[in-house]
C-alpha cells in the first residue's frame, strides 16, 4: 500500500524555504553576530535531510544534482585556496584582507576575504554531513 | 529587581515542566510517548532560552531559538518515520 504523507510533504515545502533562508542569514551574519560558516552549513544540511526524509532518496537525487562528496572536496579546496592566495602575494599563509566597496543596492559595504574562507567551510560541512547521514541510512 | 525575580520564577516553572516531561520519557509505555515528551522538552527549552535572554539583557541567543525549533522538528519527523515504517530515509529497490 502506498503511504500517504501529504501533510509532511506540504509542511516540508514551506519549512525548507524558511530553513534555507535562515541558514543563509546565519552564514552572512557570522562576521558581527553569532553565526558563521559552520552553523550555516549545518542548518543547510538539516534542510537537505528534511527533504530526504519527506520525499525519499531518489526524488531528491534527481532534483538536486550535486555529488556531496565532490562538494566537500571543493569546499576544502576553496578554504585552502584563500590561504594560498595570501602566500602568493608575499604575506603569511591564511592572511586575510578587507575593504570597503560601493555596491549598487547595499551602498558602502565592508567585504572581507574571510567570507570566501567561510564559504569553503560551509561547503565542506554541508558535504560531510549529508554524506554521513546518507551513508548511515543504507542499513542493509 | 522584582522583574528579575519574576523571570527566575518563570525559569523554575519551566524546569519543573521539563522534569515532568522527563518522567514521561523515562516511564512512557510506548515509543510514541517518549518521542512526544522529547518534542515537548525541546519546546520548553526554547521558552527557557527566551526567558534567559531577557534575564541576561542580550539578543545573541535569538538565532538559537529558531535553530532548536528546526532541529526539534526534524528530529521528531525522523523518529516518527522510524516508528511508523522502520526506515528513516526511504528508497526504492
- Distance (Å, rounded) from C-alpha A5 to C-alpha A25? 30
What integer is the mean pLDDT of B4-23? 94
Res A1 pLDDT > 60: no
pLDDT score at A99: 82
Cell 532541529 sits on residue: B71
What's the whole-number mean pLDDT along residues A64-72?
A: 91
pLDDT tier, A40 (very low <50, low <70, confident <90, very high otherwise): very high
State yes or no: pLDDT of A125 exceeds 60.
yes
Closest chain A C-alpha to B21 CA, distance in angstroms: 25
Chain A, nearest residue to B71 by Cα: A46
Is pLDDT at A111 greater than 90 in this prediction? no
Please answer whether residues B80 and A50 qualify as being in contact, where contact means their C-beta atoms are separated by less than 8 angstroms.
Answer: no
Question: What are the cell numbers at B72?
Answer: 526539534
Distance CA A69, CA A124 (A): 9
Mutate to test the interface with A, among B77, B83, B93 (most CBs of A within 10 A): B77
Three-class SS of residue A98?
Answer: strand
Length of chain B: 93
Using a CB-CB cut-off of 8 Å, the residues of chain A touching B63 are 26, 29, 33-35
pLDDT at A86 over 90: no
How many whole angstroms from its chain centre is CA A52?
A: 16
Is the pLDDT confidence value at B81 over 70? Answer: yes
User: Cell numbers at residue B3, please?
Assistant: 522583574
Is B88 in contact with A53 (Cβ distance < 8 A)?
A: yes
The whole-number pLDDT of residue B93 equals: 62
* Distance of residue B2 Cα from the nearest chain A Cα, in angstroms: 30
Domain boundaries, chain A: 5-138
> CA–CA distance from B25 to each of A119, B2, B49, B63 (Å)?
40, 35, 21, 27
Query: At A140, is the pLDDT very low, low, confident or very high (cuts 50, 70, 90)?
Result: low
- CA distance to partner chain A, nearest, from residue B91 (Å): 5
Residue carrying C-alpha cell 572581507 = A112
Global confidence as pTM:
0.87
> What does the alpha-carbon distance between residue B65 and residue B67 come to, in Å, rounded to a whole number?
5
Residue B67 predicted with pLDDT over 80:
yes
Amino acid at each position: 500500500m502506498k503511504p500517504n504523507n501529504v501533510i509532511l510533504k506540504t509542511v516540508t515545502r514551506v519549512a525548507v524555504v524558511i530553513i534555507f533562508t535562515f541558514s543563509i542569514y546565519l552564514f552572512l551574519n557570522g562576521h558581527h553576530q553569532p553565526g558563521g560558516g559552520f552553523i550555516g552549513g549545518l542548518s543547510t544540511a538539516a534542510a537537505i535531510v528534511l527533504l530526504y526524509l519527506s520525499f525519499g532518496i531518489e526524488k531528491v537525487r534527481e532534483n538536486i544534482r550535486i555529488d556531496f562528496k565532490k562538494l566537500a572536496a571543493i569546499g576544502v579546496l576553496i578554504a585552502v585556496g584563500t590561504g594560498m592566495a595570501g602566500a602568493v602575494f608575499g604575506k603569511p599563509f591564511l592572511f586575510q584582507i578587507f575593504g570597503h566597496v560601493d555596491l549598487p543596492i547595499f551602498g558602502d559595504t565592508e567585504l572581507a576575504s574571510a567570507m570566501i574562507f567561510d564559504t569553503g567551510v560551509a561547503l565542506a560541512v554541508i558535504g560531510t554531513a549529508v554524506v554521513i547521514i546518507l551513508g548511515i541510512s543504507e542499513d542493509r | 529587581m522584582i522583574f528579575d525575580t519574576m523571570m527566575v520564577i518563570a525559569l523554575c516553572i519551566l524546569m519543573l515542566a521539563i522534569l515532568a516531561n522527563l518522567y514521561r520519557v523515562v516511564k512512557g509505555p510506548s515509543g510514541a510517548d517518549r518521542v512526544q515528551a522529547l518534542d515537548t522538552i525541546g519546546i520548553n527549552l526554547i521558552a527557557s532560552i527566551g526567558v534567559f535572554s531577557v534575564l541576561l539583557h542580550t539578543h545573541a541567543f535569538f538565532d538559537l531559538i529558531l535553530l532548536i525549533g528546526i532541529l526539534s522538528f526534524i528530529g521528531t519527523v525522523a523518529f516518527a518515520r522510524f516508528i511508523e515504517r522502520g526506515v528513516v530515509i526511504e528508497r526504492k529497490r
